[in-house]
Chain A
Amino acid sequence: MSTASRTGTAPGTVTGAGTGTGAGPGTGSGTGVRRQPVRWLPLAPATLLLLLFLAGPICYCVYIAFTDMQLTGSSHTDFVGLANFRRALSDARFRNAVWLTLVFTFVSSVVGQNTLGLALAGLMRRASRPLRTLTGALVITAWVLPEIVAAFLLYAFFRREGTLNAVLGWLHLPGQNWLFTLPILAVSFANVWRGTAFSMLIYSAALAEIPEEITEAAEVDGASGWRAVWHITLPMIRRSIGTNLMLNTLQTLSVFGLIWAMTRGGPGDRSQTLPVFMYDEAFNKSLIGYGTAVALLLLLVGSLFSVVYLRLMKVEV
């Protein structure tokens, strides 16, 4: 990527994917489109799939969120306006899910993955080769493992009779039944274990782009250690930090399998983040309409983050 052009405006529509209609003749007056419509034909299959299976469901989501659709029982669905959203606002379990989602996102994405990823990337530049390779391989393995396998490993790790308590006992520290006492923290740490590699890769690439002269000049000027990090390194990679925070947060917002497999959102609803709450309302309480209203809120938050991310990236297209 050479010089990135500025993104003047964010994409105008927040309705979802595929708003760019097929590139037939007559769309736009770009010379290429008008003169040779056949050139744009290869876009058709992808555009069709995106419209049918991504834009379609999103539009359907918007529609269902305003109805009282149920999984079972009454066969006809009525339009209920904002009832689902009013219900959410007065629902203590929804507020609990919002709170837990904030905790989960903050602990595992903002603090955990982001900070640990940056620390690892920084340490790897100084460490010896064997340790760099070893740590990198382990962190990336945790990332590549399928979600449910990771959930199973960490479930075993945090159980009362699991490895974490064994290690704590060996250090003469008190253990406890983590999945029962602190379930939201257990799944947050699980998500850190699983997702740190992504931040590590992004930050490794960002740090590698800092010119050697700058770091050397800083050392000559006596700016060492933390001061150099704070005043030189961090400002130089601030765009990567922004991008990484956005992407991490978006990924963390949509974590379902890891939590579902480790705790089912329990005990009670003490690790029930929004995706799990949404699933529970729609399929265990069969309130599809209400579950979809929650899904729509998640989508809106995700869309906001996406737009901010696009602005940050100053994409060169």
Chain B
Amino acid sequence: MPPVHTVLSRRTRRRLAADAALLVVAAAFVLPLAWLVLASFDDGANLRVRVPASPTLDNFSAVLTDEITFTPMLNSLVLCGSATVLTVVCAVLAAYPLSRYRSRFNRPYLLTILFSTCLPITAVMVPVYGLFVQVNLIDTVYGTALFLATSQLPFAIWLMKNFMDGVPKVLEEAAWTDGASMAQTLRRVVLPLMGPGATVVMIYTFIMLWGNFFVPFMLLLSPDQLPASVTIFTLFGNYGSVAYGQLAAFSILYSTPVLVLYILISRRLGGGFALGGAVKG
């Protein structure tokens, strides 16, 4: 039996080693982020991390125009907001019978859903473009929103079903026996209980869509309809003389909503969050 203090010191040594290793990783991860924040307050920003000589809000006031910020952000909001609402409504409706009723049909349906969560959506974008041209959905916000909503739907259904499985059935059964219809039960009993789960699904879907670049890049053509994910690319794509500080400022404005939303749901997604929610060691 070794004396206590050596055990402790070994523990402490281990902790210090782990801390040092994490510090190195944290430094590597923080550098690009630090550049973004510092450059946004620096009117002479270049590509290096440096503390601005005289911090200023000039970059922000320069990008806060209709053309650079307001229109694209509003487009993003309309596009991602409508797609998110559609996804969540469909997911809640679909998850309910999948979670509550037993039938031979559940399993294949859910397996297909799970299978679709893994498909590389990137790969279908070329044929989707061709298809959208054929059916006149190209360059329409509603067509793009429909596709975006569908791309997130499998995962939203899966996540929603898992949340529903965690809500006890007792209250619903009481409502059934009192002769409530399915719609009434869903509205008065189920949705209030499912509220937190549905909120998490909604925010997660919105975060995913807000950052999605490839789908609107392919399906929207008119500059006045483009969401921020594409306009930021266009700004940054004019390689020549880039106003890095302004681009950094716009990046921060564009990223803030999803960072805030993520903080709101991180507790709920937390440790148990994993794609499919069924990842076991």
Whole-angstrom distance between the alpha carbons of A247 and B30 in the complex?
26
Cβ-defined contact, A163 with B280, below 8 A: no
Which residues of A sit under 8 angstroms from B90, Cβ to Cβ? 45-46, 49
Cβ-defined contact, A45 with B94, below 8 A: yes
Q: Does B81 contact A (CB under 8 A)?
A: no
Name the residue on B nearest A10 (C-beta). Answer: B111
8 Å CB contacts to B: which residues of A1-55? 1, 4, 7, 11-13, 16-20, 23, 27-33, 38-40, 42-43, 45-47, 49-50, 52-54
The interface residues of chain B, by DSSP majority, are classed as helix
Whole-angstrom distance between the alpha carbons of A141 and B49 in the complex?
18
8 Å CB contacts to B: which residues of A265-317? 275, 278-279, 282, 288, 291-292, 295-296, 298-299, 302-303, 305-307, 309-310, 313, 315-317
Q: Which of B49, B108, B123, B210 contacts A20 (CB 8 A)?
A: B108
How many chain A residues touch B (Cβ–Cβ < 8 Å)? 123
Q: Does A256 contact B (CB under 8 A)?
A: yes
Cβ-defined contact, B22 with A254, below 8 A: no
Whole-angstrom distance between the alpha carbons of A247 and B119 in the complex?
10
16 pairs from A and B in contact (CB 8 Å cutoff): A16-B116, A17-B112, A30-B102, A52-B146, A54-B154, A57-B128, A69-B130, A126-B17, A126-B18, A132-B22, A149-B36, A153-B35, A209-B281, A257-B233, A302-B118, A315-B114
A residues near B (Cβ < 8 Å) are: 1, 4, 7, 11-13, 16-20, 23, 27-33, 38-40, 42-43, 45-47, 49-50, 52-54, 56-58, 60-61, 64, 69, 116, 119-120, 123-124, 126-128, 131-132, 134-135, 138-142, 144-149, 151-157, 159, 161-163, 166-167, 193, 198, 201-202, 204-210, 236-237, 239-240, 243-244, 246-247, 250, 253-257, 261, 275, 278-279, 282, 288, 291-292, 295-296, 298-299, 302-303, 305-307, 309-310, 313, 315-317
Known A156-B39, A295-B126; further 15 A-B contacts with Cβ < 8 A: A17-B112, A39-B97, A52-B150, A58-B127, A120-B25, A135-B29, A144-B259, A146-B254, A162-B47, A163-B35, A205-B274, A206-B279, A299-B124, A315-B114, A315-B278
B residues near A (Cβ < 8 Å) are: 14-15, 17-19, 21-23, 25-26, 28-33, 35-36, 39, 46-49, 86, 89-91, 93-94, 96-98, 101-116, 118-131, 146-147, 149-151, 153-154, 157, 182, 207, 210-214, 217, 229, 232-233, 236-237, 244, 247, 251, 254-255, 258-259, 262, 266, 271-281
